[in-house]
A and B are shown apart, each in its own frame.
Chain A
């Protein structure tokens, strides 16, 4: 058993990678590849060759590392300060507090559908075309219907730029290690955009607003610069949103921390996230829109709450 352990680990790693590969191909909404190749791979023994191929490759390792960094709840984006409308929702739907858990389930589902339809297209566009970040930022700002949501998005977007500049850029944009031109373009796009943000003097006049720094498109660009693939970028964006809402639910005393982790780990949450990503995979930013009109009302009325523990 003792000498069997590293092999077990290898096996598990390979299985996880196979699963990741599986999920990725599932995700590719436009053309679903036939999965025969993956299946034959799964059936062949997990040789060290496979380990070398898969895990020792610089790309995979660094993208896994970046994935873990970006999914860390300690990433200093200030996400904990926002409940994405949950606090206002609870205040507007008091009779349902007799069964807070099911009321929360409804909110989580609506919230994920809404973030996917309004913001995910901007994440995907930021990843696919990092050089258009300025236009994406303007268009998302134009599409944000209320000040509360705008403040939350801009605060986190600017925080993300801060983390990139102060922490990640040194490791991920070093010219020696980066061979992917897309990542290089993304890195220089962030730098240019950041310079614009810093030199911006505020709104010059009514129709000439400066850059804002919205979160969603920047997330796509930063993920590109850090070498994640598009599927990972989208998944982690929605998952982080779900984590933030669940964390807010725990702090708003809707549920306990174990119950929150239970939901986070659940298959149904994974399925929801996958289904929403698939649905928005080919949605252009022009076609992005709110699918949950009620959510705009709750978020907008957050300012009317008598007592607030969150900023949104």
Chain B
């Protein structure tokens, strides 16, 4: 394994960064040598670069100066393999024109911990024990992560991380912003492939969407560096909130009334949903049912064009829901529900600005992983352009 060429780092540089901050700049030095000109990070964040031996086979048709440069692999790590309440991770990455980067999370799923005084002993396993939280719980007990990637023209980012696994009672917010070059047209455009997925928690411990708050927002902006104008191209935002935090005291009664009220108004005897009895209704569970993992894949730019087209084709050629074989004699067997039969329920759409947006829900992590990994490997362009390592988490 070869370390990419890197200038000597200033020992003072990291002292500027706040805890959890990281800064990466990937440049292309002549003739065609991808180099991390900046790499700083501060505890509890850790960024480990690696230049894979993999060199993409240049397509004879696109040889000359369009020849893709060697991808640089960046591992995104946190001490303890997850985020404690109050942790703020802030990673900023800049990809200069024609560079390529693969980002993965080699520690497995991003665990979102919840420190609870009564269960604190169970966190002995976490190395690098962090300081106690300040007293103001409401603000500080949320784990936060922000990722900001600027992708230059003809540069490409392949970011296929493990899912985020929020533990019981955890709170987490994540904002990922990707900025592409608005002035680049056609084949010059920046490319990105971003996966963002979240699971119901630790199924081995019986967790089933028992966290308190999880929010993931992904934005893609086009910025013209000459004029400084920015335009939002895509925003994908998922909010899973158990709504236990009432806006004020009077609100609590209201919410309860809402959750149980609608069922009692159909005017006929009905069995109430099982949750409506003694156990309080889990709103997040209700809103994700029947899935144990939900996620989004965002594709854009020339490098991922063929993958986008492939996924669109796969989606539109799924069997029609509710179609019947008219030629056969009457088969009275009820049709199995599609959401359970396939285990993965997904949709793909070619939204604006050439983006392909895939949304999926699956019964568990393994199912989703096998399904998505299978599709990406079958199509093959990610392995071809970035190497098998890009699919490390799948």
Q: A: which residues have CB within 8 A of B?
A: 29, 32, 88, 91-95, 99, 101-102, 105-106, 108-110, 113, 117, 138-139, 141-147, 150, 203, 205-209, 255, 259, 262-263, 266-269, 271-272, 274-275, 278-279, 287-294, 296-297, 300-301, 303-307
Contact = CB atoms under 8 A, between A and B. Distances in A.
Contacts of B262: 105, 108-109, 263, 266, 268-269, 272
Interface in B304-328: 316, 318-324
B287 A271 contact: no
Contacts of A290: 237-239
A110 B258 CA distance: 12
Contacts of B289: 294
Contact of A305 (B236, B261, B322, B335): B322
Interface stretch (B107-115, B140-148, B249-257): B249-257
B258 A275 contact: yes
Contacts of B267: 259, 262
A297 B241 contact: no
B347 A289 contact: no
B286 A291 contact: no
B265 A262 contact: yes
28 contacts: A29-B247, A91-B321, A92-B321, A92-B339, A95-B334, A105-B262, A105-B265, A108-B262, A109-B258, A142-B234, A142-B235, A143-B236, A144-B351, A145-B357, A146-B347, A259-B266, A259-B267, A266-B265, A268-B261, A268-B265, A271-B254, A275-B251, A288-B237, A291-B241, A293-B287, A294-B289, A296-B359, A304-B320
Given A99-B271, A143-B236, A291-B240, 12 more contacts: A92-B339, A102-B270, A146-B351, A267-B261, A271-B258, A272-B262, A289-B239, A291-B241, A294-B289, A300-B348, A301-B321, A305-B321
Contacts of B320: 304-306
B222 A207 contact: yes
A91, A113, A117, A142 — which one has the most chain B CB atoms within 10 A of its CB?
A142
B288 A294 contact: yes
A248 B96 CA distance: 51
B254 A274 contact: yes
B189 interface: yes
Interface string B156-175: 00000000000000000000
Given A102-B273, A138-B232, A268-B258, A146 B349 contact: yes
A208 B233 CA distance: 9
B360 interface: yes
Contacts of B286: 106, 110
A293 B288 contact: yes
Contacts of B231: 138, 207-208
B291 interface: yes
Contacts of B236: 143, 145
Contact of B287 (A110, A144, A146, A300): A110
Closest 4 CB pairs of A and B: A300-B347, A289-B237, A268-B261, A306-B323
Given A91-B321, A105-B266, A268-B257, A291 B359 contact: no
Nearest to B317: A304
B111 to A, nearest CB: 21
Interface residues of B, number: 71
B118 to A, nearest CB: 30
Nearest to B182: A207
Task: Determine chain B's interface SS by DSSP, over half rule.
Answer: mixed
B334 to A, nearest CB: 7
Interface of B: 180, 182, 185, 189, 215, 217, 222, 231-241, 243, 247-248, 251, 254-255, 257-258, 261-268, 270-271, 273, 286-289, 291, 294, 296, 316, 318-324, 334-335, 337-339, 345-354, 357, 359-361
A143 B296 CA distance: 13
Given A272-B261, A275-B254, A297 B345 contact: yes
A208 B229 CA distance: 12
Contacts of B324: 306
B247 A279 contact: yes
Contacts, number: 183
Contacts of B237: 143, 287-290
A101 B254 CA distance: 23
A294 B353 contact: no
Contacts of A292: 287-288
B388 to A, nearest CB: 30
B291 to A, nearest CB: 7
Contacts of B361: 293-294, 297
A10 to B, nearest CB: 32
A300 B359 contact: yes
B265 A94 contact: no
A304 B321 contact: yes
Contact of A289 (B238, B352, B354): B238
Given A272-B262, A292-B287, A306-B323, A297 B360 contact: yes
B266 A206 contact: no
A200 B354 CA distance: 19
Contacts of A108: 262
A278 B247 contact: yes
B177 to A, nearest CB: 11
Contacts of A110: 286-287
B321 A99 contact: no
Contacts of A205: 185
A268 B182 CA distance: 48
Contacts of B265: 105, 262-263, 266, 268-269
A145 B236 CA distance: 7
B347 A301 contact: yes
